C-alpha cells in the first residue's frame, strides 16, 4: 500500500466500523453542501439570465436621454427638458468614431385599432439604424427601410405580442390598422425575444421617425432642430464604451453650448456600466444565498464534532494501545483529523452530486411557476469541497486534541 494512502485507508476502516453513525454524520454535511450548491446555482442562474437578456438587447449599447432637471433643494423634477435633437444624432454619427449605429427615436402613446380589436401602445418613431442598435430581427415582412424613412411612409413594424393581440389568426403583414387618425399598413412583425428588465420589444410598435413627427408631434427647438427623446448608439466592440461616452459628451456639450462649469443637459448610460452594476448586485445576492446555506453546513460540522467526540470516548482503549505501541501525540492527532476530514469530504462529494441534481430539477421545473435557469460552476464545486474538508479539520480539532492528550495508562484501563 502506498504510504500516503495508509492513513486514508485506516480512516475509512474507522468510519466503516460504525456505518449508521458515519452515514448520519455524512448526511449533515451532504445537506449543507447540497444547499450551498443548489442556492448558489440559482443565484448564478439569475445572474446569467439577466446578463443574457442584456446581451440580446445589445451589450454594446449606449443610450442618451435628456438630463433630469433638478429643482433647488435637490428635489428631482418630474419632467425632463427636451434637449436632444435629430441633428445631434447626425453629428454623432459623422464625428464620433468606433460607432456602428446611431438611432435617435421619439415616442407617443396612441390607440391601435384593427376591426373590433384595439390596444393602447407606445408608438416609437425610429430610423432604420434602430434595428442594428437593438439587435432586432423580423419574423415576417421587413424592417423600416431608408426609403420608408425618407418618404415618411405610413407603415409599421410590430412586436410579437402586439401582433398576437390585434390579429389573432390573421397574417398581420399587409393589414391596415388605425393609429390615432391615420391609417397605417403593417409591414413586418418582430421576432419574439421574451421579456427583459429593459422592457420587451414584443410590445413594440415601430413607425418611421419622420412619420411620427409629421403625424403626431412636430416639436422643434428654438433653433429649429427636430427634438427626439432618446439617442441609442451601438459601439463597434466591447470595451470601447468609455471612449465613446467621452467623445459624445464633449460633442454634445459643444453643440448645446454649455459653459465649462455647467452641468450636462443630457445623461449617458452605457450597457457596460449597467452590466457591471447588475453583476455586482447579483453577485451579492448569490453570496447571500450561499451564506444562508452555509449555516446548515455549520450545523453539519457541529454534527461531525459531536460524532468524533463520541468516537474518541469509544476508542479510548484503542488510543491507549496505540500509545503503548509508541504512537506520538501527533500520530493520534492525524488519525482522528484524517477521519473527520474524510467523513466530511465524502459528505461534500455526495452533497455536490445531490446539489447538482437539485439544481437540474429546479431548472427543469422552475420555482413558483416561473422558469429558472441554474448554473453549477466549477468554482462553487471546488469551494464547497474545500470548505467541507475544512469543516472536518476544524470540527475534528477538539476531538483529536482530546484523543491525543489521553493518558495512556488510564486509556488502557478504560473498559
What is the binding site for other proteins (CB under 8 A)?
Answer: 3, 6, 13-14, 17, 317-318, 320-329, 331, 408-409, 412
Between 266 and 333, name the residue whose CB sits nearer to other proteins: 333
| Least distance from other proteins to the Cβ atom of residue 19, Å | 12
Per the CB < 8 A criterion, the answer to whether 57 and 196 are in contact is yes
Per the CB < 8 A criterion, the answer to whether 221 and 82 are in contact is yes
Between 220 and 317, name the residue whose CB sits nearer to other proteins: 317
Instruction: Could you list the beta-strand ranges (E) of 37-165.
Output: 61-66, 68-70, 76-80, 99-114, 117-126, 138-141, 155-158
Q: Tell how strand 155-158 and strand 182-190 pair up.
A: parallel
Residue 326 pairs in a beta bridge with none
Between 3 and 72, name the residue whose CB sits nearer to other proteins: 3
CA distance 24 to 32: 13
Alpha helices in 186-328 (DSSP H): 209-215, 241-255, 271-314, 316-324
| Least distance from other proteins to the Cβ atom of residue 321, Å | 5
φ and ψ at residue 12, rounded to 5 degrees: -60, -45
Closest CA to 193 of 306, 56, 391, 327: 56
- Residues 89-93: contacts with CB under 8 Å, at least 24 apart: 89/127, 89/228, 89/231, 91/251, 91/255, 92/231, 92/233, 92/248, 92/251, 92/252
In eight-state DSSP terms, residue 370 is B
| Least distance from other proteins to the Cβ atom of residue 415, Å | 10
CA distance 77 to 92: 28
CA distance 250 to 258: 10
Between 13 and 219, name the residue whose CB sits nearer to other proteins: 13
| Least distance from other proteins to the Cβ atom of residue 331, Å | 6
Q: What does the block give as the cell for 302? A: 457541529
Between 226 and 322, name the residue whose CB sits nearer to other proteins: 322
| Least distance from other proteins to the Cβ atom of residue 317, Å | 7
| Least distance from other proteins to the Cβ atom of residue 29, Å | 23
Between 58 and 320, name the residue whose CB sits nearer to other proteins: 320
Per the CB < 8 A criterion, the answer to whether 12 and 338 are in contact is no
Between 3 and 257, name the residue whose CB sits nearer to other proteins: 3
| Least distance from other proteins to the Cβ atom of residue 1, Å | 8
* Crossing angle of helices 271-314 and 329-365, rounded to 10°: 140
| Least distance from other proteins to the Cβ atom of residue 298, Å | 31
Distance of CA 47 to the CA centre of its chain: 2
* Radius of gyration (C-alpha) of the chain in whole angstroms: 33
Between 338 and 363, name the residue whose CB sits nearer to other proteins: 338
CA distance 336 to 404: 9
| Least distance from other proteins to the Cβ atom of residue 320, Å | 8
Between 247 and 318, name the residue whose CB sits nearer to other proteins: 318
Between 281 and 409, name the residue whose CB sits nearer to other proteins: 409
| Least distance from other proteins to the Cβ atom of residue 347, Å | 22
- Grid cell 412636430 in the structure block, residue: 218
Q: Tell how strand 61-66 and strand 266-270 pair up.
A: antiparallel
> Which are the contacts of 245, defined by CB distance < 8 A and separation ≥ 6?
62, 268, 270
Amino acid at each position: 500500500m502506498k504510504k500516503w494512502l495508509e492513513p486514508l485507508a485506516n480512516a475509512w476502516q474507522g468510519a466503516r466500523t460504525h456505518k449508521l453513525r458515519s452515514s448520519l454524520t455524512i448526511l449533515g454535511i451532504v445537506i449543507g453542501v447540497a444547499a450551498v450548491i443548489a442556492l448558489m446555482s440559482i443565484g448564478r442562474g439569475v445572474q446569467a439570465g439577466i446578463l443574457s437578456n442584456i446581451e440580446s438587447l445589445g451589450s454594446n449599447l449606449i443610450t442618451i436621454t435628456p438630463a433630469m432637471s433638478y429643482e433647488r433643494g435637490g428635489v428631482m423634477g418630474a419632467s425632463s427638458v427636451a434637449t436632444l435633437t435629430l441633428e445631434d444624432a447626425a453629428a454623432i454619427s459623422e464625428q464620433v468614431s468606433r460607432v456602428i449605429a446611431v438611432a435617435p427615436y421619439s415616442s407617443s402613446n396612441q390607440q391601435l385599432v384593427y376591426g373590433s380589436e384595439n390596444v393602447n401602445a407606445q408608438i416609437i418613431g425610429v430610423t432604420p439604424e434602430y434595428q442594428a442598435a437593438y439587435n432586432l430581427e423580423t419574423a415576417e415582412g421587413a424592417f423600416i427601410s431608408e426609403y420608408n424613412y425618407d418618404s415618411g411612409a405610413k407603415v409599421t413594424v410590430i412586436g410579437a405580442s402586439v401582433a398576437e393581440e390585434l390579429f389573432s389568426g390573421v397574417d398581420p403583414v399587409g393589414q391596415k390598422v388605425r393609429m390615432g387618425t391615420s391609417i397605417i399598413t403593417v409591414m413586418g412583425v418582430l421576432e419574439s425575444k421574451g421579456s427583459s428588465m429593459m422592457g420587451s420589444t414584443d410590445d413594440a410598435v415601430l413607425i418611421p421617425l419622420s412619420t411620427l413627427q409629421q403625424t403626431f408631434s412636430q416639436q422643434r427647438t428654438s433653433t429649429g432642430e427636430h427634438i427626439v427623446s432618446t439617442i441609442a448608439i451601438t459601439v463597434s466592440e466591447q470595451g470601447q464604451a468609455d471612449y465613446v461616452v467621452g467623445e459624445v459628451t464633449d460633442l454634445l456639450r459643444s453643440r448645446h453650448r454649455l459653459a465649462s462649469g455647467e452641468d450636462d443637459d443630457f445623461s449617458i448610460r452605457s450597457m457596460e456600466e449597467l452590466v457591471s452594476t447588475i453583476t455586482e448586485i447579483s453577485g451579492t445576492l448569490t453570496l447571500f444565498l450561499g451564506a444562508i446555506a452555509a449555516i446548515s453546513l455549520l450545523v453539519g460540522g457541529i454534527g461531525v464534532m459531536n460524532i468524533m467526540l463520541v468516537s474518541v470516548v469509544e476508542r479510548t482503549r484503542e488510543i491507549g494501545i496505540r500509545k503503548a505501541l509508541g504512537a506520538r501525540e501527533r500520530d493520534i492527532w492525524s488519525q482522528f483529523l484524517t477521519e473527520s476530514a474524510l467523513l466530511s469530504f465524502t459528505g461534500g462529494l455526495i452533497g455536490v452530486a445531490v446539489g447538482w441534481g437539485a439544481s437540474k430539477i429546479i431548472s427543469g421545473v422552475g420555482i413558483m411557476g416561473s422558469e429558472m435557469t441554474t448554473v453549477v460552476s466549477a468554482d462553487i464545486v471546488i469551494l464547497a469541497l474545500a470548505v467541507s474538508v475544512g469543516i472536518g479539520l476544524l470540527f475534528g480539532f477538539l476531538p483529536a486534541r482530546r484523543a491525543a492528550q489521553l493518558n495512556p495508562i488510564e486509556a488502557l484501563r478504560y473498559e
